[in-house]
Structure 1
Amino acid sequence: MPTRPLGRTGVNVSLVGLGGFHIAKPKDEQESIRLVRFAIDHGINFLDNCWDYNEGRSEELMGKALQDGYRQRAFLMTKLDGRTRAVAEAQLEQSLRRLRTDVIDLVQMHEIIRMSDPEQIYGPGGAMEALVAAKKAGKIRFIGFTGHKDPDIHLAMLQMAERQGVPLDTVQMPLNVMDPHYRSFEKKVLPVLTERGIGVLGMKPFASGEIMKTGAVSATDCLHYPMSLPTSVVITGCDTMGVLKQALRAAYTFQPLGSERVSAILARTAALGATGKHEQFKTTERFDGTTKNPHWLTTAKV
């Protein structure tokens, strides 16, 4: 399994990361545990999760899977929705219990999808106070944020972090073969992150399955494209052993795409990607969990 530096953290993470949402999809709990452990046994050390995924079940399943020595072999990340210090603190304590760990390697503010989010999180009594305090207390190691809506919102969050003097260790964002053509995180945010030494967490390489429906590119292309960018890790959801093995194969066989190959992929996806039709997380509220469940921002109840 190839590994890469996670920005300036001094930590190396696996080229591919295991998404946390999809591990709760199998009906059999033991199958979910098997997926997590198979991933770790085959070189994946970056594990993604979130306080709200599947009403907390994703964290609970991952916590069970990380027993018997697996926790020590994993770089564990989760996300919080709470926008105030009190709510973020309560959600963090829940995540620690569910994940059955005393320390979470990386905690990220989740769904930075509104222009009001940076001010709320960094303002007096905001959630960032909870993360900074938790880091000082040794409950978390690193701090970041994630979002999927608009690169300008990501830039606003980065500007706020710089103004407030609270350095971010990671940023998570969509990076895929459609992204360069519409509200591009690759074009607008990626250069800023690489310049500042912030770890780049690529997500939605398949745009929640929409890219494969077009027939424009192969599954391997979908993974190798963001892997060819200056990403630290490319996170992908795996709900079956077959999908997980496909992701592992893509990582094992990865060679950076040449300029001609990249040009060919972008030419095939240009018209398809021009309106954001196949990246519905940018253009609709379908994937906005905190929009559908606004109480996640203000309470510690999923």
Structure 2
Amino acid sequence: MYKHLGSTDISIYPLGIGGIPIQRVSFEDAREVIAHAKGLGINFIDSAQGYSDSEAKIGFAIDSHKNYWKLASKSPARDKKGMEEAVTNSLKKFNRDYMDLYQLHLISSMEELDTVLGPNGAMETLHRYKEQGFIKHIGITGHKPEVLIKALDIYPFATVQVPFNPLETQSIELLEYAKSKGVGTIIMKPLAGGALTSPTACIKYILNQPFVDTVIPGMESIEQVQQNFEASQNSSLCVDEQEAIDKDIRELKNNFCRRCEYCQPCPQGIKIHSVFTLHGYYSRYGLKDWSIPRYQGLPVLADICTECGICETKCPYELPIRDMLKVAHKDFSG
């Protein structure tokens, strides 16, 4: 059941491990979770520089079998020097001489893409490290399908990583296009950041799609690994599983931010999608200690909102953004 990630030489089981929840467990627990995944044949792990000690715990967990694993990480660094520090730190924390995949993280505009691909941009470092053998392949991640489609036309990225699940289907055109070009497709946030309540149904739904190479749910327990693995063995949805998905979508569709950013710019300078993304980590991932300082570090906090309502007139999902901002700020300030 192993398959190549796009046109690369990376052969992986279609269920991988997302590194976000590893932050919440001990080093020893991380080793037990990852060892169980290896025993099932799972061989791909994706993490990021921004996931606090996730990379270090993964490096500790895979130590005696580190060459078995296909490792990926990513950084939001946009310049050459910042990316050099990021890749160097990832290699050190993973305790390995190379990474199978390193990704430009969260590219959300053509201006950002121009920056990373331009003079002294982050891509200069990734190219150099690839030539030196420290990186095998270069990928890109983001939440803006239209930007990523253009990115795939401009540069031969090996992979693209985006959110996709029964609730967030806005990247289907991108994923189909990537597949047609031989670009590997990695699905993050398969449970919509924890908003969807039926993991088995979601994994099956995603792996049923012909444009998906691998899905990387965050897993922090042996039970989660086992449950997701069993879902990956048979992607046929039963009636109850489809009904569970439909129920979630009915309840969430008018109260869930898809990070499309059509609400921007806010006249007060609030990064609305950033507030809601961090609030998801706070309320659904259980990463309160991680998300609170990042919220407090935003240039403008949600309590600056004057309730002008312009954002709500531009939201294609008709979300009650003003109320959602109040809830988020109250939680972060509590």
| Fold match (TM-score > 0.5) | yes
Between the aligned partners of 1:40 and 1:177, the Cα distance in structure 2 is 28
Q: Deviations over 1:62-109 (max 9, x none)?
A: 1111111x1121100010221011110111111111110111010001
Deviations 1:158-188 (A, max 9, x none): 2332xxxxx11100001100123xxx001x2
Q: Is the 8 A contact 2:107 2:141 kept in 1?
A: yes
CA contact (8 A) 2:202 2:245 kept: no
Task: Deviation per CA, 1:206-236: give whole Å up to 9, x if none.
Answer: 0111121xxxxx3221111111112111000
Q: TM-score, normalization: structure 2? A: 0.74
1:154 and 2:148 are equivalent in the alignment:
yes
Query: How far 1:156 sits from its partner (Å)?
Result: 3.0
Equivalent position to 1:51, from 49, 52, 73? 49
- CA distance in 2 between counterparts of 1:155 and 1:270 reads 26
1:189 is paired with a residue whose SS is helix
Residue 36 of structure 1: how far off its partner (Å): 1.5
Q: Which amino acid in the other structure matches residue 203 of structure 1? A: M
CA distance in structure 1 between the aligned counterparts of 2:163 and 2:236, rounded to whole angstroms: 19
* Counterpart for residue 192 of structure 2: 207
Deviation (angstroms), 1:249: 1.3
**Alignment partners' CA distance in 2, 1:266 and 1:246:** 17
Rate the CA distance shift 1:263–1:37 in 2: closer, same or farther, 3 A: closer
The one-letter code sitting in structure 1 at the alignment partner of 2:223 is G
1:143 correspondence with 2:122: no
1:236 paired with 2:217, answer: yes
Write the mapping of 1:244-283 to structure 2, written as runs, cut at 5 A. Answer: 244-252=225-233, 254-256=234-236, 271=250, 275=254, 277-282=255-260
Are 2:51 and 1:66 aligned? no
Aligned residue in 2 for 1:173: 162
Given residue 46 of structure 2, which amino acid in structure 1 is its aligned partner? Answer: D
- Structure 2: how far apart are the matches of 1:168 and 1:116? 18
Describe the SS at the equivalent of 1:237.
Answer: coil
For 1:214-265, what per-residue CA distance to the aligned partner results, in whole angstroms no more than 9, with x for missing partners? xxxx32211111111121110000122222221111112x23559x999978
Whose RCO is larger (CA < 8 A, sep 6+)?
1
State the identity %.
27
Aligned length: 271
Q: Is residue 2:282 matched to residue 1:287?
A: no
SS at match of 2:206: helix
Deviations 1:33-82 (A, max 9, x none): 2112211121110101111212xx111111111111x1121100010221
Which range moves more in the overlay, 238-247 or 14-23? 238-247
Q: Secondary structure at the match of 2:187?
A: strand
Q: Which residue of 1 aligns with 2:171?
A: 185
Structure 1 residues 280, 129: CA separation in 2 closer, same or farther (over 3 Å shift)?
same
How many angstroms apart in 2 are the aligned matches of 1:168 and 1:136?
15
Contact 2:164–2:187 at 8 Å: present in 1 too? yes
Unpaired runs of 5+ residues, structure 1, are 162-166, 213-217, 296-302
Question: What is residue 124 of structure 1 aligned with on the other side?
Answer: 119
Q: Is the 8 Å Cα contact of residues 23 and 35 (structure 1) preserved in structure 2?
A: no
- Residues in 2 aligned to 1:53 and 1:156: alpha-carbon distance in whole angstroms: 28
Per the TM alignment, residue 18 of structure 1 is displaced from its structure 2 partner at its CA by: 0.5
User: Any gaps of 5 or more consecutive residues in structure 2?
Assistant: 262-272, 279-290, 300-334
Q: Distance in 2 between matches of 1:273 and 1:153?
A: 26
Q: Take 1:204 and 1:239, find their aligned partners in 2: how far apart are those partners? A: 15
Residue 29 of structure 1 deviates from its aligned partner by: 2.0
1:16 is paired with a residue of what secondary structure? coil
Question: Which entry has the higher C-alpha Rg, 1 or 2?
Answer: 2
Instruction: Specify which of 55, 79, 83 is matched with residue 78 of structure 2.
Output: 83
User: Which letter does structure 1 place at the counterpart of 2:235?
Assistant: Q
Aligned residues of 1:207 and 1:279 also touching (Cα < 8 A) = no
Tell me the SS of whatever aligns to 2:160: strand
Distance 2:200 2:245 in 1: 15
The letter of the residue matching 1:52 is G
SS for the counterpart of 1:179 is coil
Return 235-244 or 103-112, whichever deviates more.
235-244
Q: For residue 39 of structure 2, what is the aligned residue in structure 1?
A: 41
